[in-house]
Chain A
Amino acid sequence: MLAPVAPPNTRVDHLLIAEMVAAGSRVLDVGCGDGALLQLLADTKNVDGRGIEVARERVNACVARGLSVIQGDADRDLLDYPDGAFDYAILSLTIQATRQPKTVLENLLRIGRSAIVSFPNFGHWQVRARLTLTGRMPVTENLPDAWYVSPNAHLCTIKDFANLCRVVNARVERAVAFNASGQKLGTWIPLTVHNLMGEKAVFMLTRTSGH
């Protein structure tokens, strides 16, 4: 039997997340959008997946394609879930759009035995260059919206996120930064370079004991 293959236009961060997730595990995808990641994980990793999505029409589309998704909000609805309910609690390109990123991350670490978070890196050199040279909020391929319509409320850099992980006592199990073409940056490269060259990053975190 052929192993199921991800469709060709799959988002790079989704592929990276799928690599990190163990087959047959229980997954909660917070901010699951149209359900592409849940579908990918179901097809390639046979996960028992659930999703939360804020936009009603996307939720309805997910349920119509057979995914277990509820209409809800990362800031409000994560509180309902019991501790350790999932193997992985995933937040892909969503943390920057939440009102309380720290609380959301703490909840992810509480609900999932591991948390996987991907986010756009505000420390990327292009972003820095735009801000420095034009003196205005950067609009890039990665951050396409003007500041006044952007859903992003709490943008951060890779270094900032690594710092937040320390603040909430999370252990970084894996961290991968990648550029526009989806190339991963080598792990031997120092964090400062990741922070300059990575357009997006994916972190896999666990609770440290006693937390």
Chain B
Amino acid sequence: MNTVSPREFLTPTDARVLEQNSPSSDYLDVPATRPLRLDCDRLLAPFRIAYKTYGELNADKSNAILVAHALTGDQYVASENPVTKKPGWWETMVGPGKPIDTDRFFVICPNVLGGCMGSTGPATINALTGKPWGLDFPVITIGDMVDAHVPLIDHLGIDQLFSVVGGSMGGMQVLEWAARHGSRVYTAMPIATAAWHSSQNIAFHEVGRQAVMADPDWRQGRYLELGTEPRNGLAVARMAAHITYLSEEALQRKFGRSLQDLAAKTFSFNADFQVESYLRHQGSTFVDRFDANSYLYITRAIDYFDLAAEHGDVLAGAFKGTTTRFCVISFTSDWLYPTRGSREIVQALNAVAANVSFVEIESDKGHDAFLLEEPELFAAVRGFLNAAAEKRGLKNGPETR
């Protein structure tokens, strides 16, 4: 018997394409009889949502927490990613005894619609044509991503999620969950996010998309059928984006003007500086694990996000009559989603007298801080969830911590 999975021998790209069409995680196939009406007014059906769960759902199904991932995240929030073989992307936050404690809560992490780790997206083989969707895939929104996850919650028999938690684009999904499906959300934790994408942020995304589309190997989005891959374009997109996830201070502290394994400048365009070498590494590892068209679609969905615009240009309208308890979190050095954006969300929630906590965490690590070791963040998440669990009548975990 062959005990080694054939997946072990695949190139990263092949492993990813295999994951997309035959995920090694759990998945739900939503049948053609339950089509999803997208914000662009097209119907999508059938479609698939790939997901991971951690912990146990309790008898009355009241302890479920949905973790919404960010732009390039996936369902592997607290376990090894099958493509990169790296630990889960939020293992500091989610796991046994962690602030989102899987000894106590049932954690669901689905891959977003448009993603490339098993949920239907542009790299999925379109059953009608037998070819990858490519640019025939409809342009989706953050609201569509959330609506596509509702059947999964139904499938798991969960009436109301105890919490929806997410950072960055995950935070936008949290806001849409609260706005579109408020009665199904007991608490909501939007972290390092905003209720609308700023002009500057759209501009950065456009640079990334243009880098992908300028790569001749992109082939008008048909690279998968034509056997090429816009690696250079996608790597440049990731390099540019990565800068926005850090802060000037963090970059300076980490790299300064240090040279990479060199005694002196080479008077060439090699990666002399450590920071260049770091960014090139970020770019090249990213293309191994991410689909270029997914990158276009998901950045577009974020650009289109404007929760107030969906509610007559009044953000408070999105939360009218809400009974959800909110905890909004921002970071001092996050210039991609600065504190003022979080404060706007808090103001809108106050305007409808919602139950809201708001903390700004002091950190010099920029937007990425939400994924990193930040004790104050962990204390806030743990304290908020525990207090809400008590209100909801959830029992403590196996032992009192």
Tell me the minimal C-beta distance from A73 to chain B in angstroms. Answer: 11
Q: Is A56 a contact of B362 with CB atoms below 8 Å?
A: yes
The size of the chain B interface, using a CB distance under 8 A, is: 27
Q: Is B353 a contact of A70 with CB atoms below 8 Å?
A: no
Most chain B CB within a 10 A radius of its CB, from A66, A77, A85: A66
Does A64 interact with chain B (Cβ within 8 Å)? yes
Residues 344-371 of chain B: 1 if any A CB is under 8 Å from the residue's CB, otherwise 0?
Answer: 0011001111011111111000000000
Residues of B within 8 A of A63 (CB): 327, 357, 359, 380, 383-384
Does B60 interact with chain A (Cβ within 8 Å)? no
Across the A-B interface, the 9 shortest Cβ-Cβ residue pairs: A66-B387, A64-B383, A70-B358, A85-B353, A64-B379, A80-B350, A80-B347, A63-B357, A63-B380
Q: Is B351 a contact of A71 with CB atoms below 8 Å?
A: no
A interface vs B, CB < 8 Å?
48, 50, 56, 59-60, 62-72, 77, 80-82, 85-86
A71-B347 contact in complex given A60-B379, A63-B380, A66-B390, C-beta closer than 8 Å: no
Q: Is B325 a contact of A68 with CB atoms below 8 Å?
A: yes
18 contacts between A and B (CB under 8 A): A59-B359, A60-B359, A62-B357, A64-B376, A66-B383, A66-B386, A66-B387, A68-B325, A68-B356, A68-B357, A70-B328, A70-B350, A70-B357, A71-B360, A77-B350, A80-B350, A82-B351, A86-B353
Which residue in chain A gives the minimum CB-CB distance to B332?
A56
B interface vs A, CB < 8 Å?
325, 327-328, 346-347, 350-353, 355-362, 376, 379-380, 382-384, 386-388, 390
Q: Tell me, in angstroms, the Cα distance from A69 to B325 when the chains sit together.
A: 12
Residues of A within 8 A of B356 (CB): 50, 68, 70
Q: Is A64 a contact of B353 with CB atoms below 8 Å?
A: no
Q: Tell me, in angstroms, the Cα distance from A67 to B388 when the chains sit together.
A: 10
Q: Is B355 a contact of A68 with CB atoms below 8 Å?
A: yes
Indicate which residue in A69, A81, A85 contacts B357 across the interface (CB closer than 8 Å): A69
Q: Tell me, in angstroms, the Cα distance from A69 to B383 when the chains sit together.
A: 12
Q: Tell me, in angstroms, the Cα distance from A65 to B388 when the chains sit together.
A: 11
